[in-house]
Homo-oligomer: A and B are copies of this chain.
Amino acid sequence: MLQSSRAHTATHIARQMLEEQIREGFLEPGSRLPTEPELASKLGVSRNSLREALRALEDCGLVTKRHGVGTFVTDSRPLVKGGLERLVSIAEFIAGEGRQPGSVLVQSSTTAASPELERRLGLTENEQVAVVETIKTADSQPVAVCIDYIPTAYLPENFDAGALHEAIFEGLQRELGIVIKYAECQIVPTTATAALASKLDVSEGAALLLLDQVHVDDRGKRVFHSKSYFPSNRFSFVVIRHR
């Protein structure tokens, strides 16, 4: 019996075994799984743990439950690409697509927060924010322009916010102990201004996707704001919408 590096928990064990059997094709798409009590005893876990595992698989779209009927292996292929529900950095996103991520610093400065920023981040008046603008690349090709707005109040004296540009999540955690837990992401279609067009190597007026995000830490504090611009044809974002 293979043991994976970590993940001893009963739920993980059940999830892994089921997922493997489904992905390897031992369980036919469309076929019914054994009943929950049966499966639980077969896998040597409690029914509760099994149910947690099944829930995870259902979230990934691998199985479908029907109350009073049974649990079935989903018979449509996975298909899913992006998965916007998960908050990952652009670099992680690019790496996940099998390409080489890069980041070019365009500018790093400090200005007064706009009223809009004050509202979004819950700042008091007259606060300063560090503004860090970068171009993200995949295999050296520009794929996104990202502008981060970080209140200087959170940063140490004379801290160079530009140093965070390559990996802001990791940087905040390592340098400042701030753990980003989720982002509220507003999805806005827009068109390329001349400035954005030249940075992204698209024509002016081309369709862009703007992800306008407020990042919140594990204490519920809104830590920073970011705007990321993606050309429509160079990235594909997907969300699974449940009824």
Contacts and interface: CB of A to CB of B under 8 A. Distances in A.
A114 B74 CA distance: 24
A80 B184 contact: yes
The count of identical subunits is 2
A218 interface: yes
A189 to B, nearest CB: 4
A209 B182 contact: no
A232 interface: yes
Interface string A77-99: 10110001111100000000000
A184 B230 CA distance: 20
Interface residues of A, number: 57
A74 B184 contact: no
Given A75-B221, A208-B189, A84 B182 contact: no
Interface stretch (A6-14, A138-146, A153-161, A235-243): A235-243
B186 A86 contact: no
Contacts of A64: 181, 218-220
Contact of A187 (B79, B88, B221, B237): B237
Nearest to A66: B218
A75 B242 CA distance: 28
Contacts of A236: 186, 188
A224 interface: no
A175 B16 CA distance: 39
A72 interface: yes
Nearest to A120: B79
Given A189-B189, A189-B207, A189-B208, A184 B219 contact: no
